[in-house]
Copies of this chain bind each other. A is one copy, B any other.
Amino acid sequence: MTLSVTISEVGPRDGLQSVDRVMPTEAKKAWIKAEAEAGVSEIEVGSFVPPSLLPQMADTAEIVAFAKTIEGLDVVALIPNLRGAENAIKVGVDKMSIPFSMSETHSVKNVRKDHPAMLAEIRAIAELVAEQPEGQRPHFEVGLSTAFGCTIEGPVAEDQIVRLAEAAMEAGVAECGLSDTTGYANPAQVTRLVRKVKAAIGSDNLNTLHLHNTRGLGLANVIAGLEEGITTFDASLGGLGGCPFAPGASGNIVTEDLVFMLEAMGIHTGIDLEKLLKVRDIVAGALPGEPIYGFTPDAGLPLGFERAAA
């Protein structure tokens, strides 16, 4: 098992886009800055989607520009299409991620593109990236979403996921990640699917899991992923963006609980948990009335808790 893991904070993107209220730009900046200071080295800061669709993400270009001034921080943005990629490249993101829904029904419903159309879009973006001058090419990865099941189709055939991951690599992405968009994943499935996709596209080309805690299995799924060599886990501060205690809940795994688990296990995250816990105040203050979750923040650290050695 790996002794060092990257936690990619997705709260400012996946969290905020699920919250109706629009977080003020200055609060987003304060959040990102404080989390980077707590040792978080990668943050998905926004999404290059039309503001008419997601007003919460309207300031993404400004947020990226700000985040890029923070030394040592990898600045990630979600892009839905070529247009989004152009905008992301313009402001110089370090990493772009495009969601590619393994359920074709979901893909058509969500972005009005079937699988061939998505692959054409991914290829066009990869070409755009390749055209950029060296040193200015963002890392471009695809998130294989609904990989663990779809709320419309139900289970998605694993062979189909393997085939689409291979096609995405062939279309020119730098790597693939697996996303449990629906909170359907279980640890045995994580083990099986990570193995199959790694075997198909190469072990170094699948490094990231994006997990939700909808049915309480988020951290159990992390354990399964760790054992298969996954080195990056997405998580959201305070589990923002989904109410785990309401029907249809869809919150990301909670960054604070993930950091606690990994550090307690002796797995280095580079994150100072006590500093991280203080970041909750910024988020709570900027989104009054919005529930902020986390078991570890409520229970506190165990007596005698020690961080993993660097």
Contact = CB atoms under 8 A, between A and B. Distances in A.
Nearest to A246: B298
A254 B300 CA distance: 20
Contact of A261 (B214, B220, B261, B267): B220
A150 B215 contact: no
Contacts of A187: 223, 261, 265
A243 to B, nearest CB: 9
A200 B115 CA distance: 55
Given A187-B261, A213-B295, A214-B295, A149 B302 contact: yes
Nearest to A150: B303
Interface residues of A, number: 48
Q: Closest 9 A-B residue pairs measured CB to CB?
A: A154-B304, A216-B295, A188-B265, A186-B264, A219-B220, A154-B303, A216-B257, A184-B302, A220-B220
B304 A245 contact: no
A137 to B, nearest CB: 37
6 contacts: A153-B303, A154-B303, A184-B302, A187-B223, A245-B293, A247-B298
